[in-house]
Amino acid sequence: MENGDIARDSRPLVIAMAVVALLIALYSVVSQLSGPAVYRPGDSDISVSAGDRFTIAVPDDPDDGYHWIIAAPRPDPAVLEATGEHTDPDAEPGHPASGAGGTRELGFRAVRAGRTDLRLLHCRRCATGAVDEPGARTVNFRVTVD
């Protein structure tokens, strides 16, 4: 064996390790490009890893006067934090909440391991007692962070 050469017996191992490293890098890139997971009102249990970002998409009609808010009791901030929200008026064609339809997307980041409840309230006034106002509705999620 000359200096700088890899022993013939070691070459398959080196090739296998290079292939594994390439697959891990490819998986990381694809995971980052695919964006966060999207959950809907029927997904009552959400399991994510610490550091993961995800979105909850709820039907929304900005013209009906109702709004989606994170309701009390709020999720444990040590486990889950809100990262923002926006409305996509054409996200779910054919599935209008009322009137024009659309989707409200609320973003979250899993902070660290734990379990917390997340309650979304669709309300008009969204003040104390809003859960009892006519037309109000809630969607509940159990979020588990590994």
Q: What is the pLDDT of residues 4-36, one digit of tens each?
A: 566 777 888 888 888 887 777 676 565 555 667
pTM across the whole model: 0.68
Sheet architecture: strand order including 80-88: 37-39, 53-59, 103-110, 80-88
Is 88 or 143 the better-scoring residue by pLDDT? 143
Instruction: Say yes or no: 62 and 121 in one domain.
Output: yes
Using DSSP bridges, classify how beta strands 37-39 and 53-59 pair: parallel, antiparallel or unpaired.
Answer: parallel
Nearest by Cα to 35 from 113, 93, 139, 105: 105
Residue holding tokens 């309650």? 119
Q: What is the pLDDT of residue 10?
A: 81
Which CATH number is 103's domain given? 2.60.40.2020
> 90 pLDDT exceeds 80?
no
Ranked by mean pLDDT, the top range of 1-15, 65-79, 98-112 is 65-79
10 and 49 together in one domain: no
Are 118 and 46 members of one domain? yes
